Amino acid sequence: MDAIILQILNGLDKGSAYALIALGLTLIFGTLGVVNFAHGALFMIGAFCAVTLSKILSLSYIILDETQTDFLGKPLKVKVPYAESWFGPEIGAAIIDWSVPLAILFSIPVMLLIGFAMERGLIKHFYKRPHADQILVTFGLAIVMQEIIKYFYGANPIPTPAPDVFTGSYDFGVLLGFDPNVIIYPYWRLVYFGFSAIIIGAVFSFLRFTTFGMVVRAGMADRETVGLLGIDIDKRFTLMFGIAAAVAGLAGVMYAPINSPNYHMGMDFLVLSFVVVVVGGMGSLPGAVLAGFLLGTLESFASMNEVKSIFPGIDQIIIYVVAILILLTRPRGLMGRKGVMED
């Protein structure tokens, strides 16, 4: 029982990352009809937004501290971050400590801008071209983005810690009446899960309850008619592309403390998130979220030792096996609309 609860919890945070990326991919596919292989790169850029902000915030200058001496007897050189000298040591240290959550604010405009630039500059010209061309050009773009990041940040992963408050683990078992230290769960993963739930909720309510969202949904259903009604649907779709990029970026920002960002993390997530989208059904937003959590949980269950002893290696391939089975038995995915991309 405790093991099952633990695996469900483990699945949730992996699942929330999958769900967020898949949500962005589906937004783009559902609105613009474009298969975006650069979406993993957007996730990666989001993570590097967190890295950049924490670097900027901890920019420091060197002063000589007369009260301390180094081993040669000279005054010790001490690095003082600008943030601490401007806002006082306590607030300054707190700002640096909270750089990852602060990066959320920083990354939204950055990702929106990147999204707009990408859509206006490149994707726009590929609406009419076959999916294969779209895959190829965004694949090229992903390589370019990844290499640019590699040029500026190097090839090694850059550890980006979460705020100190969230470093420990939460003892879930006590809450549910188990012995202590049986079900423990890192705080940051809880935060990640909560955060992604908020983002997913925000995207859905935006589409559901605003006029803008209504127009976008109408455009997803029948683009031509919406255009004929005199609505400039292209402009709204561009904004949706920006939002999708921002969702991917936010997923990346918050993922930075879980896994130190490196330049190819996007490619690693890309394949999985495509599988998630396909399982959920191309163009179905609830499907993407559902499939994300489902596959995340399945993956963590498959990595239980009891399961592994029956099917060795199942944890490595479970997602792909599920995807292949679903693709072959239910062509439109779990929640895909009938008739959308069924062949």
Partner 1 sequence: MFGLDKKDATLLVIVAILTLCAPFLLNPFPSESALAQFNAGYPDLMQRFVIFGIFAIGFNILFGLTGYLSFGHAAFLGVGSYSAVWMFKLLSMNVIPAIILSVVVAGLFSLLIGFISLRRSGIYFSILTLAFAQMSFNLAYSVLTPITNGETGLQLTLNDPRILGQSATADGSIPVTSLFGLEMRSTYELVMGPWAFQFNAGYYLCAVIMVLAFYMSIRIFRSPFGLMLRAIKSNQTRMSYTGLNPKPYTLAAFVISGMYAGLAGGLMASMDPLAGAERMQWTASGEVVLMTILGGAGTLIGPVLGAGFIKYFENIFSKINDTVLHSWFSFMPDGLENLVVMLVYPFIGKGWHLTLGLMFMMVVIFLPGGLVEGGQRIRRLFRRKDDTPAAKTEPAE
CA-based nearest residue to 25, from 39, 44, 10: 39
Count CB atoms within 10 A of the CB of residue 115: 26
- The least CB distance from residue 244 to partner 1, in Å, is 17
Query: Cβ contacts of residue 110 below 8 Å, gap of 6+?
Result: 45, 49, 249
Q: Would you count residue 317 as binding partner 1 (CB under 8 A)?
A: yes
Q: Would you count residue 274 as binding partner 1 (CB under 8 A)?
A: yes
For residue 268, give Cα distances in angstroms to 2, 7, 35. Answer: 30, 22, 17
Tell me which of 72, 328, 338, 339 binds partner 1, using CB under 8 A.
328
* Cα end-to-end span (Å), the chain: 42
* Residues making up the chain, counted from first to last: 343
H or E segment to which residue 149 belongs: helix 131-153
Residue (95 or 304) nearer to partner 1, CB: 304
CA-based nearest residue to 295, from 277, 309, 313: 277
CA-based nearest residue to 158, from 267, 78, 49: 49
Q: Would you count residue 139 as binding partner 1 (CB under 8 A)?
A: yes
> How far is it, in rounded angstroms, from Cα 150 to Cα 196?
27
**Piece in contact with partner 1 (CB under 8 A), picked from 47-55, 104-112, 138-146, 187-195:** 138-146
- The least CB distance from residue 203 to partner 1, in Å, is 23
Q: What is the per-residue binding string for partner 1 in 284-303, x denoting contact by CB under 8 A?
A: --------------------
Tell me which of 77, 79, 131, 208 binds partner 1, using CB under 8 A.
131
> How far is it, in rounded angstroms, from Cα 74 to Cα 83?
26
- The least CB distance from residue 278 to partner 1, in Å, is 5
CA-based nearest residue to 42, from 118, 101, 106: 118
Q: Would you count residue 137 as binding partner 1 (CB under 8 A)?
A: yes
Tell me which of 112, 135, 218, 340 binds partner 1, using CB under 8 A.
135
Residue (79 or 125) nearer to partner 1, CB: 125
**Could you tell me the two tokens for 224?**
């031509």
Of residues 142 through 161, those in contact with partner 1 by CB under 8 A are 142-144, 146-148, 150-151
Of residues 24 through 83, those in contact with partner 1 by CB under 8 A are 35
Q: Would you count residue 324 as binding partner 1 (CB under 8 A)?
A: yes
> How far is it, in rounded angstroms, from Cα 120 to Cα 68?
56
At residue 305's C-alpha, the angle toward residues 303 and 311, to 5°, is: 75
- The least CB distance from residue 330 to partner 1, in Å, is 12
**Piece in contact with partner 1 (CB under 8 A), picked from 59-67, 132-140, 185-193, 238-246:** 132-140
**Piece in contact with partner 1 (CB under 8 A), picked from 187-195, 229-237, 246-254, 319-327:** 319-327
> How far is it, in rounded angstroms, from Cα 276 to Cα 224?
29
Of residues 214 through 273, those in contact with partner 1 by CB under 8 A are 267, 271
> How far is it, in rounded angstroms, from Cα 304 to Cα 1?
13
Q: Would you count residue 304 as binding partner 1 (CB under 8 A)?
A: no
Q: Would you count residue 321 as binding partner 1 (CB under 8 A)?
A: yes
Tell me which of 73, 230, 313, 339 binds partner 1, using CB under 8 A.
313
**Piece in contact with partner 1 (CB under 8 A), picked from 74-82, 162-170, 203-211, 275-283:** 275-283
Query: Cβ contacts of residue 22 below 8 Å, gap of 6+?
Result: 273, 276, 277, 280, 288, 289, 291, 292
Binding-site size, partner 1 (CB under 8 A) = 39
| Chain residues that interact with partner 1, rule: CB under 8 A | 35, 122, 125, 131-133, 135-137, 139-144, 146-148, 150-151, 267, 271, 274-275, 278, 282, 312-313, 316-317, 320-321, 323-324, 327-328, 331, 341, 343
